[in-house]
Amino acid sequence: MSADEGLSGKKYKGEQSMKSPATEQNVQISLRERVAYGLGNTASCVIYMLMTSLLAFFYTDYIGVSAGAVGTIMLISRFFDGGSDVVMGYITDHTHSRHGKARAWLLWMVLPYGITGIALFLVPPHASAVFQYAYIFVTYNLVNTVVYTAMNLPYGALASLMTRDQHEREKINVMRMVMGPVGTILITACTLPMVQLFGDDQRAWIITISILMAFAMLCLLLCFLGTKERVQVAAASDTGIPLRQSLGALMQNKYWGISMALWGIISVYNTFNGTNLPYYCEYILGNKVLSSGLSTAENLVQVAVIFIMPPFLKRFGKRNMALSGAVVTIVAQLPLLLAPAQYSAAMVSAVLRGIGTAPLCAVVFSFIADAVEYGQWKTHLRTEGMIFSAASVGSKVGGGLASAAIGKLLDSAGYSGLASTQSAAALNTISGMYLWAPVIIWAVAAALLLGYRLDRQYASIMEELAQREARGEM
């Protein structure tokens, strides 16, 4: 018997029926459930933004670890993390519990998520450099490679298991991206002021992070309680697809490849923009706390634009809106390029970047969910977990490369986090990265989006899949 015909014959009972009718699989998702799903991204963004925006700053300027060492550790760790994504996707596809195959992981990871997030900031300050490097490597991988992966990948796959209706998925993922910046704003706007309030030392960081992680744990639990898995494809429900076959199917799915690259682009941008911002504000604008206002402005505008996005997506399509946004983000750097040391110019650019980045952020996970259906149509295999996990490899590797690049560039320019003043080379490097990285990153995103055509094919693909599934086929 082939994998297409089904190998295991296993079923599970509980909250989901294995033979859900088509109307249940294409049900409209209530606002309450969409908000609950979005809270999962709020939780994700708390730890994600800590790792991509403030963690390197904490290591270099509060613990005294060299920027180059931090970048190298993060790069090596991201390659481990990328491998764990594929493993976790395979595990998700083969999970059978009374809570479903993706949703269950949200519950199982609540406590580990909070504990390991705090552990990132417990670096022994007076230990040897080698011991500090080892501690950072272990805790960073425990958070990113193990716990975050085991939570975030099933969370992403959950959207494709809530409904198969394309526009409902768009609304679900728009809410995901509306709620995500709540966690982002919480980190970027509140962390440094809270750290200063509690004493501006490592102890202050630990107190602050403990409060933030408690909030993230609550959001994750509410996401689990407020969502439901509905999509059960009868032809696929009893199938145990070997890992090799799942990987082979991915290689035939060009829209998975584009989605992976676009998710990677967002990660690279967030890492460059978030990590550089505290340094830019400290050494170019003269006050590190200014990063709170700039980041908050960009994210609030992004949330507002994402929130009004659904009617525009329905009229103009996901690809066209995302492409337009990429162009806006490139143009947004112009005020800052003309006046790089002025806070007002930085604020104008931040607001415009919020407008430009919103469309792709709103639709990237819908791109991935649509790639699930394309993959089933193309290969006769349905592997939600594997597609989401493999797509996230682009995000993990992209973020790792960005972190390493920042660390190496700062290190080569002679940056020292504990020094009272920085060299001209270090200042030029900090300024150059913040000014030019968004231009390069979003030019690559625009090129990728020009090759995306699935919006036009989706309706006919779903019609054919409905006919196949009615015959018990994939």
**How far apart, in Å, do the first and last CA atoms of the chain sit?**
15
Q: What's the burial of 348, exposed, middle or buried (CB within 10 Å: 0-12/13-18/19+)? A: middle
352-379 pLDDT, tens digit per residue, is 999 999 999 989 988 988 898 888 898 8
pLDDT of res. 14:
39
31-74 pLDDT, tens digit per residue, is 999 999 999 999 999 998 888 788 989 999 999 998 888 888 88
> Measuring CA to CA, which residue among 156, 33, 134 is closest to residue 88?
156
Asked if residue 130 has pLDDT above 90, the reply is yes
Confidence of residue 240 (pLDDT cuts 50, 70, 90): low
> Cα(168)–Cα(173) distance, rounded to whole angstroms?
9
Asked if residue 8 has pLDDT above 50, the reply is no
Comparing 208 with 187, which gets the higher pLDDT?
Answer: 208
Residue 58 gets the label, from left (phi > 0), alpha (psi -120 to 50) or beta, of alpha
> Cα(114)–Cα(108) distance, rounded to whole angstroms?
12
The type of residue at 5 is E
Supply the DSSP string of 23-37, one letter for each residue: HHHTPPPPHHHHHHH
Confidence of residue 198 (pLDDT cuts 50, 70, 90): very high
452 within 8 A of 367, measured Cβ to Cβ = yes
Find the DSSP H helices in 281-383.
Answer: 290-307, 309-316, 318-332, 334-338, 343-379
pLDDT of res. 71:
83
Comparing 240 with 408, which gets the higher pLDDT?
Answer: 408
Q: Kindly report the number of other CB atoms within 10 A of residue 90's CB atom.
A: 20
Asked if residue 171 has pLDDT above 90, the reply is no
Tokens of 325: 């946004």
28 within 8 A of 165, measured Cβ to Cβ = yes
**What is the pLDDT averaged over residues 142-148?**
91
pLDDT of res. 17:
39
What's the gap between Cα 241 and its chain centre?
Answer: 27
Q: Computed over its alpha carbons, how large is the radius of gyration of the chain?
A: 22
Tokens of 196: 């200063």
Confidence of residue 324 (pLDDT cuts 50, 70, 90): very high
> Cα(215)–Cα(53) distance, rounded to whole angstroms?
19
Rounded to 10 degrees, the C-alpha dihedral 337/396/354/288 comes to: -60
Confidence of residue 6 (pLDDT cuts 50, 70, 90): very low
> Cα(341)–Cα(428) distance, rounded to whole angstroms?
12
Asked if residue 449 has pLDDT above 90, the reply is yes
Average pLDDT, the chain: 86
pLDDT of res. 237:
46
Q: How many CA atoms lie within 13 A of 306 on its CB side?
A: 29
Find the DSSP H helices in 11-66.
Answer: 22-25, 31-49, 55-58
> Cα(364)–Cα(251) distance, rounded to whole angstroms?
19
Comparing 288 with 11, which gets the higher pLDDT?
Answer: 288
> Cα(190)–Cα(296) distance, rounded to whole angstroms?
10
**Residues with Cβ < 8 Å from 274, sequence gap 6 or more?**
49, 52, 53, 54, 188, 295
In this prediction the pTM is 0.70
Asked if residue 266 has pLDDT above 80, the reply is yes
368-427 pLDDT, tens digit per residue, is 888 988 888 988 888 777 787 767 777 777 877 887 888 889 989 998 877 778 899 999
> Measuring CA to CA, which residue among 368, 362, 366, 369 is closest to residue 174?
362
Comparing 167 with 451, which gets the higher pLDDT?
Answer: 451
CA-based torsion, 386, 392, 396, 402: positive or negative = positive
Asked if residue 297 has pLDDT above 80, the reply is yes
Comparing 226 with 177, which gets the higher pLDDT?
Answer: 226
pLDDT of res. 356:
97
**What is the pLDDT averaged over residues 167-172?**
83
- pLDDT over 90, % of the chain: 47
- pLDDT over 70, % of the chain: 92
Q: What's the burial of 5, exposed, middle or buried (CB within 10 Å: 0-12/13-18/19+)? A: exposed
**What is the pLDDT averaged over residues 130-157?**
92
> Cα(19)–Cα(21) distance, rounded to whole angstroms?
6
